Structure 1
Amino acid sequence: MVKIEGHEFPEDLYYHREHMWVRLEDGKARVGYNAWAAAAAGKLVSLKTRPAGKEVAAGKTLGSVESGKWVGSLKVPLSGTILEINPALEGRPSVINDAPYGDGWVAVIKPSSLDAELKSLIKGTDKAALEAWIKEEKAKAGV
């Protein structure tokens, strides 16, 4: 587990620069919102996603999240078909704040360009790249 600014980044995941993570599972990709971004947003009060069965393109909108102080887009880290949206988040998006890498996952996707798109993600084992990325994000956010 890599820890940056008090937030955990599991080493078995890949990280998208738009604050989504990817866990590979038997040809599928489980995706979610990372702990640093969830903490920065504050307690999430609303989550809207595209439905299962829809095609999505890497970097495009999977959905949106809202806290008392912020509204933002969830950008899908990989292209493919949405197989499942996490039913545990329905009416309870703050599960993302409580367990971003566990029960707070957002969707399962059947990737269509996995090998090519994984190259653009940050590996969870690359602590230096993760630290540089979070430093950039803090500068953008003015924190």
Structure 2
Amino acid sequence: MAQALGAAVYAGKAKEIGWGGLQLTEAGAASPLAALRGAPVLHWHGDTFDLPPAATLLASTDITPHQAFQAGAGQLALQFHAEADAARMEHWLMGYACELAAAGLDVAAIRQDARDLGSRAAAAGQDFFRRWLTGVFTA
């Protein structure tokens, strides 16, 4: 979405893979992303992007400063995976085994985090999507 709106997309400084939180901007805290405050989400990316012109930054992490932005009514871009289902984590771990090994990531820790954090992530993700879609359909 960033590229379609005229921004550069390129390799980030490091792969960000695993369960973790987000830092919401003031605009993010006033958006449907507020449902994710303090909740884990799945990060699984190595690329990043510049913020498109006229877009509003909503969330970041220490590794990836541009995690989410809004470009207009109903236009929401996410770098993280609020839709991730921890019960299907094994599919991700198997499908991306080479990427994980090359990045030196601890598969057992990602698996355990999915078990420990998955239900919180799912509830927050569902709340986020409900808030966002309600706003899209009532705007």
Taking structure 1 as the reference length, the TM-score comes to 0.25
Q: Which has the higher strand share?
A: 1
- The structure that has the greater radius of gyration is 2
